[in-house]
């Protein structure tokens, strides 16, 4: 398993030692713990944060083909399935999971953007421990790679990572690119700029 830093990219085939057919993208985050005397008196302090993981399928020119998010949990082609919205960010492990059948994607899908945004308008200054990981779901749950977001900021959306098709391989890239918008459609121009 490889831990990536911002803007680093790897071949999933080389890293896994085989061609991957089905993967799960696990995303997680925690509400930032508030510090200080008053916070400890009031229960120590973390409040819930409702972030939404989304996935955009794009062609080679950066045009959106399909968007999978909490309002549309399955792609038109049936190869991408979002397992549902976590409203708090509480608990360990993945908060939201997106399953992708790489072999069933339409031929014109060249990029898959993995994003997280705050529908409620909370900023990433209120988010801690955000991560994205790729798991080989065809052969159990072996983690191939992960990316831990280290930066915070006043933005409400982020392009966390992407998958880009290269011949018979998929290249996973850690982005950590801040985006404008509280829903995925607001972020499409920022995503296209980062990928194309």
Q: Which two tokens stand for residue 177?
A: 């690119």
* Cβ atoms of residues 48 and 95 within 8 Å: no
Distance CA(117)–CA(155), nearest Å, equals 9
- Segment 169-193 shows an average pLDDT of 93
Per-residue confidence (pLDDT) for residue 86, from 0 to 100: 60
pLDDT at 128: 86
Domain ranges of the chain: 2-195
Q: Average the pLDDT over 184-195 and give the result.
A: 93
Tell me: the pLDDT tens digits for 61-107?
A: 999 999 999 899 999 999 999 998 665 545 567 889 999 999 999 99
User: Residue 187 gets which letter from DSSP?
Assistant: G
Least-confidence region, from 6-20, 25-39, 182-196: 25-39
**DSSP bridge partners of 10:** 172
Percent of the chain beyond pLDDT 70? 88
Higher pLDDT, 87 or 2: 2
pLDDT value, residue 111: 98
Look-up of token digits 């391989």: 169
Give the Cα separation of 143 and 132 in Å (integer): 11
Residue 37's pLDDT is what? 47
Location of structure tokens 């918008």: 181
Confidence at residue 85, expressed as pLDDT on a 0 to 100 scale = 66
Return the closest-CA partner of residue 30 out of 129, 115, 101.
129
Report yes or no: 115 and 157 within 8 Å, Cβ to Cβ.
Answer: yes
Q: What is the pLDDT of residue 31?
A: 83
Report the pLDDT value the prediction gives residue 136, as an integer from 0 to 100. 96
The yes or no reply on domain 2-195 and CATH 2.60.60.30 is: yes
Please give the pLDDT value at position 147: 96
Q: What is the DSSP string of 12-71?
A: HHHHHTS---EEEEEEEEEEPBP-SHHHHHTTS-B----EEEEEEEE-TT--EEEEEBTT
pLDDT at 48 over 60: yes
């Amino acid at each position: 398993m490889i831990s990536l830093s911002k803007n680093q990219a790897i071949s999933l085939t080389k890293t896994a030692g085989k061609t991957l057919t089905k993967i799960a993208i696990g995303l997680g985050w925690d509400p930032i713990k508030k510090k200080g005397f008053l916070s400890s008196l009031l229960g120590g302090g973390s409040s819930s944060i409702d972030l939404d993981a989304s996935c955009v399928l794009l062609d080679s020119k950066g045009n959106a083909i399909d968007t999978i998010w909490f309002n549309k949990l399955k792609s038109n082609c049936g190869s991408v399935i979002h397992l549902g919205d976590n409203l708090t960010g509480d608990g360990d492990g993945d908060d939201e999971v997106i399953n992708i059948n790489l072999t069933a994607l339409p031929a014109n899908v060249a990029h898959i953007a993995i994003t997280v945004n705050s529908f409620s308008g909370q900023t990433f200054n209120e988010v801690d421990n955000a991560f994205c990981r790729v798991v080989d779901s065809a052969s159990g749950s072996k983690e191939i790679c992960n990316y831990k977001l280290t930066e915070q900021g006043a933005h409400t959306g982020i392009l966390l990572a992407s998958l880009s098709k290269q011949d018979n391989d998929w290249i996973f890239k850690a982005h950590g690119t801040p985006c404008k918008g509280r829903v995925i459609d607001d972020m499409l121009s920022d995503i296209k700029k980062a990928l194309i």
